[in-house]
Amino acid sequence: MEYLDEFLLIVIAHFFAVASPGPDFAVVLKQSVQQGRRNALWTSAGVGAAILLHVAYCVLGVALILTQSPSLFMALKYVAGAYLAYLGVQALRAAKPPTSNQDNIETKTVAEEPVWLAFRRGFFTNALNPKATLFFMSLFTLVISPTTPTSVQVGYGVYMALATWAWFSMLSLVLCKPSVRGFFQKSGYWFDRGIGVILIALAIRVVI
């Protein structure tokens, strides 16, 4: 496969990004605890669908920059590299959560909301997350080559949308079990370290 190396880089970067506890994880956790499995699965579908929105404006935006100003494209690459390095350092410096955090999880149940509302909640949580926007802009300027055909880039996007949906659906099934909620929250500390290493490595790739 001609673009296998590029695809594998995307798989690795996307995995660490999607596995990092953030707004998406928080809303899926909340829906799992308060609304139950069915609602959480629809929330996860909304998060995955929002990935396609990020991919759409990245593909169109990068293509526009390439056709209008190659020098601006190069500048954007270095700005994105600096941002990735900043995120990597911030992730490495993240404080370990106190063991009492598990006690703060809301455990009460409420009336189940409509599935369309759950989908919308997941979609807008991801679509309006500025870190997700910058991550995908960085991915499409640093990892994906300008010569990669648009159809291949769209394929990458479809993969990331499906992978995101699958990841959060799996988490939904697990997080509905109260006994494992504390474990995933504590794991977030180590996920931050792994993400920090990956992001810094991607930033160095720009310099090299």
Q: Cβ of 28: how many Cβ atoms within 10 Å? A: 26
Q: What is the number of domains present in the chain? A: 1
- Is pTM, for the whole model, over 0.75? no
Least confident of 6-10, 67-71, 121-125, 171-175: 67-71
Kind plus residue range of the DSSP H or E element containing 150: helix 150-175
Provide the terminal-to-terminal Cα distance of the chain, rounded to the nearest Å.
25
Say if CB 65 and CB 72 are below 8 A apart. yes
Range(s) of the domain holding residue 48: 4-207
Helix axes 70-92, 181-207, angle to 10 degrees: 140
**The two structure tokens encoding residue 128:** 């309006």
Backbone angle region of 169, left / alpha / beta, with phi > 0 → left and psi within -120 to 50 → alpha? alpha
- CA atoms of 180 and 102, how far apart (whole Å): 10
Q: To the nearest whole percent, how much of the chain has pLDDT over 70?
A: 74
Please, how many CA atoms are within 13 Å of residue 25, restricted to the half-sphere of its CB?
14
pLDDT tens for residues 116-169?
889 998 898 888 877 787 788 888 877 888 788 888 999 999 999 999 999 999
Q: Which of 5, 21, 49, 59 is nearest to 164 (CA)?
A: 49
Least confident of 43-47, 66-70, 78-82: 66-70
Can you point out the beta strands (E) in 48-165?
none
- CA atoms of 90 and 111, how far apart (whole Å): 38
170 Cβ neighbours under 8 A, 6+ residues apart: none
Please, how many CA atoms are within 13 Å of residue 170, restricted to the half-sphere of its CB?
9
Say if CB 164 and CB 47 are below 8 A apart. yes
Which is more confident, 145 or 181? 145
